Amino acid sequence: MGTSGKFTMGAAICALIAGLSVTAAAKIVYVDDDAKQGGSGSSWANAFNYLQTALTGANAGDEVRVAQGLYRPDQGLPAMATRGRSGSTPAVAIFQLKNGVAILGGFAGVGAEDPNARDTQRYETVLLNFA
C-alpha cells in the first residue's frame, strides 16, 4: 500500500470516529403538555410542556418525542412575544425547526401505563401554527 493508500485509510478512520462521536452525543427529548411545569425534557416524568422549548435546546441528531395533545408555537412565551407592534394583533407564530432534529408524535406520555407507547391514531399529536 502506497502513501496515498495510508492517507485515505487514515482519513476514513478519522471520519468514522468523528461520526460516532456525533451520534453518541444525540439525545431523546420528551415533551408532554400534561407534564409538571419546569421539566428539563430528560424523561417522560420530567418532560417539557412546550414543543418550542424542546426545539430551542435540541441539536442535530436529537430526537424529540411528543405526547398526545395540542401544541402551539406561542406556548410558554411572554404575551408580548406573540403580539404585533400594536400589542393587539397576533404576530406570526411558527415552530422553529432545526435541521437534523427528528420530531416524533403520537406517544401516550405522562400518566400512561407505558408512556413510550406510540400509536399516531390513538395518541394524536397536533401542531398548530398560526399567522
Determine, yes or no, domain membership for 19.
no
Determine, yes or no, domain membership for 91.
yes
Determine, yes or no, domain membership for 83.
yes
Determine, yes or no, domain membership for 12.
no
How far apart CA 85 and CA 16 sit, in angstroms, is 50
Name the percent of the chain lying above pLDDT 90. Answer: 58
Q: Is this structure's pTM higher than 0.85?
A: no
Helix ranges restricted to H, 3-121: 3-25, 51-57
Question: Does residue 24 or residue 50 have the better pLDDT?
Answer: 50
Determine, yes or no, domain membership for 17.
no
pLDDT tens digit sequence for 32-87? 999 999 999 999 999 999 999 999 999 999 999 999 999 998 887 665 454 454 55
- Give 33-50 as a DSSP string: TTSPTT--SSSSTT-BS-
How far apart CA 127 and CA 95 sit, in angstroms, is 9
Determine, yes or no, domain membership for 84.
yes
For the chain, what is the domain count?
1
**Which residues constitute the domain of residue 37?**
27-127
Determine, yes or no, domain membership for 115.
yes
Determine, yes or no, domain membership for 86.
yes
